[in-house]
Structure 1
Amino acid sequence: MYRRYKDVSLILKIVIGIIVGAVLGVLVPSWSFIDILGKLFVGALKAIAPLLVFLLIMSAISKYRSGSKNHFGTVIVLYLSATLLSSIAAVAVSYLFPIKLVLPGAIKIAESAPKDLGTVVSDLLTNAVANPISALVEGNYLAILFWSVLIGAGLRLASGTTKKVVTEFAETVSSVAQTVIQFAPFGIVGLLHESLSKTGVKGVMAYGQLLILLVATMVFVYLIVYPFMVWLLTHQNPYPLTFWTLKVSGIPAFFTRSGAVNIPINLQACEDLGLNKESYAISIPLGGSANSGGAAITVSIMTLATANTMGVHVSIFLALLLCFLSAISATGVSGIAGGSLLLIPMAASLFGISNDIAMQVVGIGFIIGVVQDSVETAVNSASDLLFTATAEYADDRRDGHPVDMRAAVKAAGKVKTKAAKLVEEEGEQI
């Protein structure tokens, strides 16, 4: 029965969960026992998220190899710059269009909330160097980020076998998280029922505003910010390549909602473009964690919406700090559906917001995730392809061998793209 359930599209299951939760919330708001489904789902996420973030970041950093013949330098600069710029755009949009959510059971900010700049910096430094075991148990994401980076850097000197064990352990925990997410529809029934019974339809309507802001920001970043970066490096019209990457990579990623699933499609698309295999064989898998502009947007906007809801004043300093924190944490986002939502508690902790409140926002994220996570994955995956190609074209131009991007895209389009066949095969498997 579980196999059959798992074979059903997660998107379809979530849509059904939203419908069932909304109907029950309107018709039988007094059936409070339904709310336990949401509590169980959020509780499972709270348990697995710290370990998942720790292992993913540690594993990604441990795999870095210097001295390889590729366009790694340009690629990594593009990945990190794009993620940071995405976060900055998200924070700017949040200032322009502030959103408040209605959180069932939300209370005023705790007494431990930062009161001044000195307290903020002191708390950040103290929390960052907390005991890593305690950090995993308590969900202290700042310490998790700090220690995962340090341990991952140390593992670069370890044997291949040790790195393989760490990677396989990370994949195992990712698989467990994926299993938890398979039960998201049941959690959504409970969360939506609780939201409707306690806040009414008006409170839930705020979720729609949040979704519009998230999607609009992602569209702006991919169609304006990213092409500008491509133009700066190549001095060519970026839109033929931008739209081609959306068609070849973004569309399948939208429906699979998994950057990991889309890696074979991106690799084949790179071959169709005639790129250097030594380069894209590294940059495409690396992009699954190092290039997560869509995730940075999600983390930044949803964290600031939470801060607005809790009445937390966000200074320019804290906003800039959030940009860097979102960009760094997004590089460790999981390649599974809804992975970026698990990073919200870490960003929320910057403002002294409790883990319990942050996890309610994660629950909201799964409610709107049918669209939000699909668009986010499309942005992340398509930009892996976009920046891999841009890095090579930029380096070729610097070396005096410029490539006509428009011609390269046209030639790739004529190769009845093996990538299209892979899309079909992936669709059948999913």
Structure 2
Amino acid sequence: MSLTKKILIGMGLGILVGLILNGMPIYEPISAYILNPLGTIFINFIKMLVVPIVVISLILGTAGISDPKKLGRLTGKTIGYFLVTTSVALIIAISLATVFKPGIGDYSLEGAEFEGESAPPVVDTLLNIIPTNPLNAMVEGNMLQVIFFSILVGYALARLGDKTEGIKKLVEQANDVLMFLVGLAMKLAPYGAFGLIAVAIGGQGYDAILAMGKYFLLVLLALGIHLFVTYGTAVATLGKMNPITFIKKFSPAMVVAFSTSSSSATLPVSMDKAQKELNVPKSVSGFVQPLGATINMDGTAIMQGVATVFIAQLVGANLGVSEILIVVLTATLASIGTAGVPGVGIIMLSMVLTSVNLPVEAIALVLGVDRLLDMTRTAVNITGDAACAVVVSKSEEKHVTTHHDDTVSV
């Protein structure tokens, strides 16, 4: 049986067990002694590999781009793609919420309390990209600093050429070791998926889902449209790949993302699938996907768009064109400004609500169903990173072909 089938069976059994145990007295002991340990072992195994894989992949990826112009071009294309798809995600979310009006109904903010954490300003985030201690950045999991340092080391190896051939060989061998460990981790994936999903479903109250059903379904609809229409169109037109083939080959990584609710934790698997199944070169995958896992959050942007309109309708506030533009701009910039901050989705939402003078305490209403939505939007987030890698890879192929044709004609 293929690994994907095993993981899907694990997910299905997890959903079934979670539904059976939901609200039952035996849920707590079963969760504490069986389900949670299964999920924690798998997540810890994957997380153990995240920082080493980001460092090694980015060093290899950047070292493989010996031309500084190519590195600049790759960065421009990647960030440009992320900004465009995040804006599209927000437009889809706001449009659907405006049409279907999830906030019109019997809702009350009475007793709702939520204290939003403040995110660091974008300028501070950009200034703090340069680590004073790279090893400390790796220990703390400060991904922007780790990415910056790894790109610098890779660039140095590229510029020094044959002088550093020994180090390049060592990094390549380290990459082989890490990919082998990813393979081992994936053998645990069906059991981890079972435990994680059973806990997520079992610990979720039916009452919360039923009360917020319209909001919940609308976010899922927006995520589905963005996944199949936006990414499907990008992969088909710009990446020259069949979208169904793309999703089929990348689906194991999507399942892991759904189980773990963490783009960073899924990174080892998503990079492995992009390189082996989608044929994305290591230099592109190793550059695009770690950066995307840190700053590209289309799924989170969709949740913010729907939640903002939902809360506006709930309190009777009208969002005009200018307010909607502010929401799109704030949410897009916030995805970079809050990169690497724990609980990033809720922090970004509190920033967006504040920007259009909506009550932050209303976040307490959407938190009831956020765990299940978080799983889905994480799967969308990492799929967006892989789609970007496919698109950038194809555009780089064209550039190489054009450059080769020019050389021949000369």
Category of TM-score, reference length = shorter chain: 0.5 to 0.7
The TM-score normalised by the length of structure 1 is 0.57
Conservation of the 8 A alpha-carbon contact between 1:245 and 1:383 = no
Conservation of the 8 A alpha-carbon contact between 1:139 and 1:355 = yes
Post-superposition shift, 1:334?
6.5
Q: Residue in 2 aligned with 1:268?
A: 272
Q: Residue in 1 aligned with 2:374?
A: 373
In the alignment, residue 99 of structure 1 is paired with which amino acid? P
Q: Root-mean-square deviation (CA), in Å?
A: 4.0
2:261 to 252, 257, 266: 257
User: In structure 2, do the counterparts of structure 1 residues 285 and 75 end up closer, same or farther at CA, with 3 Å as the change threshold?
Assistant: same
Q: Residue in 2 aligned with 1:321?
A: 326
Cα distance in 1 between the residues matched to 2:307 and 2:17: 23
Post-superposition shift, 1:286?
0.8
Deviations 1:346-380 (A, max 9, x none): 1111232333333x1352243xx22x122111111
Q: Residue in 2 aligned with 1:152?
A: 125
Conservation of the 8 A alpha-carbon contact between 2:109 and 2:362 = no
Q: Mapping of 1:363-402 within 5 angstroms?
A: 363-366=367-370, 369-370=371-372, 372-400=373-401
Conservation of the 8 A alpha-carbon contact between 1:260 and 1:335 = no
Q: Mapping of 1:29-178 within 5 angstroms?
A: 67=68, 69-70=70-71, 71-100=74-103, 102-105=107-110, 139=116, 141=118, 144-145=119-120, 147=121, 149-156=122-129, 158=130, 160-162=131-133, 165=136, 168-169=139-140
Cα distance in 1 between the residues matched to 2:268 and 2:238: 26
User: In structure 2, do the counterparts of structure 1 residues 349 and 217 end up closer, same or farther at CA, with 3 Å as the change threshold?
Assistant: same
Deviations 1:169-223 (A, max 9, x none): 4659xxxxxxxxx9xx99x98x96xxx9xxxx6x863411111101111111111
Post-superposition shift, 1:288?
0.8
Q: Residue in 2 aligned with 1:244?
A: 248
- In the alignment, structure 1 residue 279 sits paired with structure 2 residue 284: yes
Which range is displaced more, 289-298 or 345-354? 345-354
Post-superposition shift, 1:248?
3.4
Post-superposition shift, 1:92?
0.8
Cα distance in 2 between the residues matched to 1:341 and 1:17: 28
Structure 1 stretches lacking a partner, 5+ long: 1-8, 22-62, 108-137, 173-181, 403-430
SS in 2 for 1:395: helix
Conservation of the 8 A alpha-carbon contact between 2:212 and 2:366 = no
Structure 2 stretches lacking a partner, 5+ long: 1-12, 26-57, 144-195, 404-410
Cα distance in 2 between the residues matched to 1:217 and 1:81: 16
SS in 1 for 2:220: helix
Post-superposition shift, 1:312?
1.1
Conservation of the 8 A alpha-carbon contact between 1:69 and 1:279 = no
User: In structure 2, do the counterparts of structure 1 residues 204 and 220 end up closer, same or farther at CA, with 3 Å as the change threshold?
Assistant: closer
SS in 1 for 2:319: coil
- In the alignment, structure 1 residue 297 sits paired with structure 2 residue 305: no
Cα distance in 1 between the residues matched to 2:94 and 2:244: 29
Conservation of the 8 A alpha-carbon contact between 1:259 and 1:288 = yes
Q: Percent identity?
A: 17
Post-superposition shift, 1:290?
2.0
Q: Residue in 2 aligned with 1:288?
A: 293
SS in 1 for 2:392: helix
Number of paired residues?
291
Cα distance in 2 between the residues matched to 1:326 and 1:245: 31
Cα distance in 2 between the residues matched to 1:260 and 1:17: 30
SS in 2 for 1:312: coil
The TM-score normalised by the length of structure 2 is 0.60
